[in-house]
Amino acid sequence: MQDKQYLMMPGPTPVPPSVYAAMSRPVGGHRTDEFARMHKRIVEKLKRVFQTQNDIFVITNSGTGALETAIANTVSARDKVLALITGNFGERFANIARAYGAELIEVNFGYGKDVDLSVVEEKLRQNPDVKVVLATQNETSTGVCNDIAGIGALVARTPALLLVDGVSGVGAIEIKVDEWGIDMLCTASQKAFMLPPGLAMVSVSDKAWGVVNNNKAPRFYFSIPAFKKVLDKWNTAYTPNVTLFYGLEAALEMMEAEGLDNVYTRHALLARATRAAVKALGLRLLAEERYASNALTAVWGPEGIAADDLRKIIKNKYGVIFAGGQGEVKGKIIRIAHMGFADKMDVIIAVSALEMALAEAGYPVQLGAGIAAAQEVFLGRV
Amino acid sequence: MQDKQYLMMPGPTPVPPSVYAAMSRPVGGHRTDEFARMHKRIVEKLKRVFQTQNDIFVITNSGTGALETAIANTVSARDKVLALITGNFGERFANIARAYGAELIEVNFGYGKDVDLSVVEEKLRQNPDVKVVLATQNETSTGVCNDIAGIGALVARTPALLLVDGVSGVGAIEIKVDEWGIDMLCTASQKAFMLPPGLAMVSVSDKAWGVVNNNKAPRFYFSIPAFKKVLDKWNTAYTPNVTLFYGLEAALEMMEAEGLDNVYTRHALLARATRAAVKALGLRLLAEERYASNALTAVWGPEGIAADDLRKIIKNKYGVIFAGGQGEVKGKIIRIAHMGFADKMDVIIAVSALEMALAEAGYPVQLGAGIAAAQEVFLGRV
């Protein structure tokens, strides 16, 4: 039916009516006291999400722009960069460093695996001249959540900076920038922040500032020193997406009204229910449960049925939009997002659509079995 | 979670984003060519929904205002009115006639029953001086769909007018004003027309005009002759809700894009799936299936559990809003609306919330059993 669409891909994610209402306000000027006051309020709220005292810059680009901002301000040609890769977005982070002329040490842990800390420790010992370490909090392509606290503890002992891609994780999965020693955390609006795409956020630690201020790579739109120069007046270096700032404030207010702990607990609950349902249907999860993401669940397509054919049935018959595989697992997996503006009934919709599509595709599914497993989780029985 | 609300009561019903978008247009003047052209387009589309060549008046009030418009223009003090009552809204229609001084012949068929045509035939024979017959297409309080074609055929043989309350039926369940001999059909915006409350629509047959033009009851805002006087210029007698007119045009465009036959088939499918699910959970339906509504399903509360307590769990834990009982069945039933902007996943949400709430209330429910029954219907297996 027209207008009946259930967006369950890992970004863009659904936007709550309250956020749309805030965004429908007539656009105001960005060189005004009103904007400055809002900008300050937003950054104060973001600091509570990031758990940091560091500066946070809200910049007008998408997640990849946030990653490039981090690289452009810390990596110069021939700098040694250790890239910890667990999927497509880990590869992208490395590719951005490569574009800036980095000498890359890439460690690929494999699709569906998480970062092995002992390997990180060894690589750092073998390469004491590593300037920057790249890690992914929540690998969107596989639904793997890496141990950023563990990686942070290892990098903190070295002169290297830790740059973290938190694009699909921040706001869904707790992160502690200061306690875990994250020098730059990058995230974006269109995932757990419940906004349309167009804004990114980057934090910068004291340790990072020395490098940022002296980096040699060309930078202008992505220049953090340019952002910093105007931040004391709560100004932005270039024209910001004012409308998304309105939305971001509303979204952060929603998150605070729910309570950040409750937001994280909700994501954990939805993830557990989704995994329980998938297993009850006899399907296999891509990631091991001990490091499975709370924001997204990746599922192997069933034996003999193309994952993308299944996604097509799910979209065309039920209006539910899942993501497919990327990179090595292209065409082989289905990715179900449960991040941001998502609650129990979204999991119910996802599982029900999956059950019916499996039945149509000839998979021997017991209708309702996945739903029952999710319901058991919601009822607190398992 | 804030903003996660699933409105499944019989009006207001959910409004599609396309309709909200149309309604967000800046309000225009109603004494303009633009308004007149839009008014004409809307009435042409409504005539296809009503299946009539009669005039249709779009008036600014809610469903009860539409019913009063019909009464105020056809009933004067001491006129004999036959009221065919199958629930709360049938009673309301009679009460409006009573307020206008009618001499009422009330036939109450009982909550959960439909109109018995043999009784109608007998009452009309016994009372050849009946001026107006009141009937309800879809009795919102019980989920009963009456045989308007049958009633119409009986009334057509007499001088009486047939006034039909189609508030919660029109747009969800097919109705044929001309073929079935409906002299005035009343409906409203906030049910199957997928709009917020505030507009009502009334059609007037040739047979009705003689009565309407000469009725003695006091009327001003509800005066159909006043509406008619300006209709040739596609004007309205008094200030219309212009914003809802924008929404109504968008909603009618959505219905025509889907195809009216498909709209009715969709409602029938959702009703069948809902009934199958309810039965699979061991609950009893209020209405017999042969005359059960395609727009709304009324379900008896389970033995030993107060229906309103169950509704409270469903609302507070899952954000799903069902209606309760009215009149004789107050506190005893749950009413699940599946009308207007409703599709398969809405039934899945409704049933899943019901299953979990039953489990919490201690009812021996097999989780997923209702969902499976609904899915079987959606998959075309039953």
> Whole-angstrom Cα distance, residue B103 to residue B336?
35
Confidence of residue B172 (pLDDT cuts 50, 70, 90): very high
What's the confidence (pLDDT) of residue B55? 98
Tell if the CB–CB gap between B6 and A345 is shorter than 8 Å: yes
Q: Chain B closest CA to A248's CA: distance in Å?
A: 16
Q: Six-digit token pair at A160?
A: 């290297």
Q: What percent of chain B has pLDDT over 70?
A: 100
**DSSP string covering A170-193, please?**
TTTS---HHHHT-SEEEEETTSTT
Query: What are the respective helix, strand and coil percentages of chain B, to the nearest 5?
Result: 45, 15, 40
Strand B80-85, strand B132-136: pairing: parallel
Please tell me what DSSP assigns to residue A235: -
> Closest-CA residue in chain B for A251?
B2
Q: Six-digit token pair at A92?
A: 């992208």
Tell if the CB–CB gap between B359 and A343 is shorter than 8 Å: no
Return the residue in A367, A378, A381 with the most chain B beta carbons within 10 A, the one to mutate for interface testing.
A367
**pLDDT tens profile B248-302:** 999 999 999 999 999 999 999 999 999 999 999 999 999 999 999 999 999 999 9
Q: Six-digit token pair at A234?
A: 């709560």
Tell if the CB–CB gap between B379 and A359 is shorter than 8 Å: yes
What's the confidence (pLDDT) of residue B157? 97
> Whole-angstrom Cα distance, residue A111 to residue A88?
8
For residues A6 and A351, the answer to whether their CB atoms sit within 8 Å is no
Tell if the CB–CB gap between B359 and A375 is shorter than 8 Å: yes
Range B90-94, long-range pairs (CB < 8 A, 24+ positions) = B90/B134, B90/B135, B90/B136, B90/B139, B90/B165, B91/B327, B92/B64, B92/B67, B93/B67, B93/B134, B93/B136, B93/B163, B93/B165, B94/B134
SS (H, E, C) B170-213: CCCCCCCHHHHCCCEEEEECCCCCCCCCCCEEEEECHHHHHHHH
B321 near A CB under 8 A: no
For residues A186 and A166, the answer to whether their CB atoms sit within 8 Å is yes
Tell if the CB–CB gap between B319 and A2 is shorter than 8 Å: no
CA angle centred on B98, ends B92 and B102, rounded to 5°:
135
What length is written for chain B? 382
What's the confidence (pLDDT) of residue A300? 98
B359 near A CB under 8 A: yes
> Whole-angstrom Cα distance, residue B214 to residue B76?
10
Distance of CA B7 to the CA centre of its chain: 16
Interface of A with B in 20-49 (CB under 8 A): 24
For residues B145 and B126, the answer to whether their CB atoms sit within 8 Å is no
Please tell me what DSSP assigns to residue A12: S
**pLDDT tens profile B26-62:** 999 999 999 999 999 999 999 999 999 999 999 999 9
Confidence of residue A253 (pLDDT cuts 50, 70, 90): very high
- Domains of chain B with bracketed CATH: 6-12+259-378 (3.90.1150.10), 17-256 (3.40.640.10)
B380 near A CB under 8 A: no
For residues B345 and A4, the answer to whether their CB atoms sit within 8 Å is yes
State the average pLDDT over residues A302-328.
96
Residues of B in contact with A375 (CB under 8 A): 352, 355-356, 359, 367-368
> Whole-angstrom Cα distance, residue B214 to residue B222?
14
For residues A345 and B319, the answer to whether their CB atoms sit within 8 Å is yes
Buried b / exposed e across A146-175, counting CB within 10 Å, b at 16+? bbbebbbbbbeebebbbbbbbbbbbbbbbb
Residue for token digits 């306690």? A179
Q: What percent of chain A has pLDDT over 90?
A: 99
Query: SS3 of A83, please?
Result: strand
Buried b / exposed e across A110-125, counting CB within 10 Å, b at 16+? ebbbbbeeeebeebbe
> Closest-CA residue in chain B for A24?
B24
What length is written for chain A? 382
Helix (DSSP H) and strand (DSSP E) numbers for chain A: 14, 14
Residue for token digits 């999991």? A347
**DSSP string covering A366-379, please?**
-TTHHHHHHHHHHT
Average pLDDT, chain A: 97
The residues facing A85 across adjacent strands are A108
> Whole-angstrom Cα distance, residue A370 to residue B255?
34
> Whole-angstrom Cα distance, residue B309 to residue B322?
12
Confidence of residue A203 (pLDDT cuts 50, 70, 90): very high
Rg (chain A; Cα; Å): 21
Sheet strand arrangement including A323-324 = A296-300, A333-337, A323-324
Residue for token digits 């021996």? B364
Confidence of residue A183 (pLDDT cuts 50, 70, 90): very high
Please tell me what DSSP assigns to residue A205: -
What's the confidence (pLDDT) of residue A27? 96
Please tell me what DSSP assigns to residue B263: H
Please tell me what DSSP assigns to residue B326: -
What's the confidence (pLDDT) of residue A2? 92
Please tell me what DSSP assigns to residue B7: E
**pLDDT tens profile A59-78:** 999 999 999 999 999 999 99
Q: What is the dihedral of CA A45, A48, A52, A56, to 10 degrees?
A: -20
Please tell me what DSSP assigns to residue B299: E
What's the confidence (pLDDT) of residue A165? 98
**DSSP string covering A298-346, please?**
EEEPPTTS-HHHHHHHHHHHH-EE-EE--GGGTTTEEEEE--SS--HHH
Residue type, B198: G
Alpha helices per DSSP H over B232-368: 242-258, 260-280, 307-318, 344-360
For residues A114 and A144, the answer to whether their CB atoms sit within 8 Å is yes
What's the confidence (pLDDT) of residue A61? 97
Confidence of residue A295 (pLDDT cuts 50, 70, 90): very high
> Whole-angstrom Cα distance, residue B287 to residue B138?
12
B318 near A CB under 8 A: yes
> Closest-CA residue in chain A for B351?
A348
Confidence of residue A338 (pLDDT cuts 50, 70, 90): very high
Confidence of residue B355 (pLDDT cuts 50, 70, 90): very high
Return the residue in B25, B367, B382 with the most chain A beta carbons within 10 A, the one to mutate for interface testing.
B367
A344 near B CB under 8 A: yes
Q: Which residues contact B262 (CB under 8 A, 6 or more apart)?
A: none
